[in-house]
Amino acid sequence: MNIQSMADAIRFLALDTIVAAGEGHQGVPLGMAEIAATLYANHLKVDPKNPAWPDRDRVVLSNGHGSMLLYALLHLSGYDKVDLPAIKSFRRLHSVCAGHPEIDQEAGIEITTGLLGQGIGCAVGMAVAEERLRAEFGAELCDHRTWAFVGDGCLQEGIGQEAISLAGHLRLGRLTFLWDDNHITDDGDTALSISEDIPTRFAAAGWHVVAVDGHDIAEIDAAITAAKSDPRPSLIACRTTIARGIPRLEGQRGGHSAPLTLQDAAEARAARNWTHGAFVIPQTIYDDWTKAMIRGQDAATAWETRIASAPKAAEFTRRMRGALPQNWPQIIADVEARLTASRAPRATIASSGDICEALETVLPELCILCADLEAPTNHKRSRTAFGPETRHGSYVHCGVREHLMGAMACGIAAHGGLIAVNVTHLALCRHECPAM
């Protein structure tokens, strides 16, 4: 496979689409093309022809304004719902290729990431779900990774630090952030508003950190390989040039989202020696993308064979489908009768804890997230805390991180297999609202 050509296909498909739409955020797809192409070509485990396969890797575009990076990847990889007409409908009403990704897992869009930082918070929830389900059902049914494309804005938002801190504490080793370190935000150079050493911030929180040239495919590939073998969550800091390939805008503030012209497209083609017309991708490049997907297709086929004889297959399938137990009406009637036998006044938070306790054995997919209020909310009770040595635990100590807790619940729901219950005081739940 020619990964550089695969990267340039991302770059020019995004460029042509944004020019045709009249607007978009070209900085991300043009700057992260080599990063994304390397991940998909050599490492990612997905099957575009079976997009909702439960044991697929999850990819989250946290810098969601750069959505043409994701749509180009999905189109080139062969997701049926992201065909060329869908690409050409970018940013139009009801298009699967919305300005910011929504959620359409049949199209390969795992979860919405409109608010910067929301995506990495969701990714932490997805990584928790994968660890918990692997502990319950074994690696033969659940054995995948979570990848997040991350921008400077994601790491400046407060939820970003919450995600870094908790993921490091929980040692979510199957979570990798690919940071588009281009030193540019909408206002200009990041030095206008931030001077901290971001990789050191991750390292202090217990992450594996490596810095690479974000346009050097060999360096990127080696860093991803190292991340996969490290027990800690990983940050790959990819130094990139925003809007790479457009002479007028690359490395500049305008590279973020300045309107593009046909002249920009022509000059980019000359600069990158891309001789193909608008929306034209050579069949040889499509063929390379098809070859890159064989790894995931083979993994999906092997997984189907394993689950066919797995002792816990029925329960795993029920959970991933989001179905309640067959006798659910009777279960909930019994719980209601037991908890309402006494007419004595009971605080609502205490009643919530009673319900979660009553459901612990009959609804094992419950995952209680609590923001440092174990004693006053009393939801932990007999539950084991989820942690590096207790992946089967169904109670997650989130610390004083309500915003992250809200985003994690979204990620857990999008992942599937668990039902998140977030616990905090009514006043403090306002911190969760941006994640909902």
Q: Which residues are catalytic?
A: 402
Please compute, for residue 298, the number of CA atoms within 13 A of its CA located in the half-sphere on the CB side. 7
Collapsed DSSP state (helix, strand, coil) of residue 25: coil
Cβ atoms < 10 Å from Cβ of 351: 12
Place of tokens 């908790």: 166
Q: Quick one: CA dihedral 286, 63, 405, 147, positive or negative?
A: positive
Largest CA distance in the chain: 78
277, exposed or middle or buried, with CB in 10 Å at 0-12, 13-18, 19+?
exposed
Quick check: 429 and 403 in contact, CB under 8 A? no
Count Cβ neighbours within 10 Å for each residue of 419-431 and write b for 16 or more, e otherwise. Answer: bbbbbbeeeebeb
Q: Quick one: CA dihedral 423, 427, 433, 436, positive or negative?
A: positive
State the amino acid at position 427 in one-letter form.
Answer: A
Residue 385 has what DSSP assignment? B
Query: What is the rounded CA–CA span in Å between residue 336 and residue 359?
Result: 11
Secondary element (H or E) of residue 168: helix 158-170
Quick check: 34 and 241 in contact, CB under 8 A? no
* CA nearest neighbour of 91 among 30, 29, 24, 27: 24
Please compute, for residue 432, the number of CA atoms within 13 A of its CA located in the half-sphere on the CB side. 23
* Residue 181 φ/ψ, nearest 5 degrees: -85, 80
Query: What is the rounded CA–CA span in Å between residue 320 and residue 36?
Result: 28
Query: What is the rounded CA–CA span in Å between residue 108 and residue 77?
Result: 10
Determine if residue 120 is left, alpha or beta; phi over 0 gives left, psi from -120 to 50 gives alpha, anything else beta. alpha
Query: What is the rounded CA–CA span in Å between residue 436 and residue 433?
Result: 5
Place of tokens 């997905």: 46
Collapsed DSSP state (helix, strand, coil) of residue 70: helix
Quick check: 435 and 407 in contact, CB under 8 A? yes
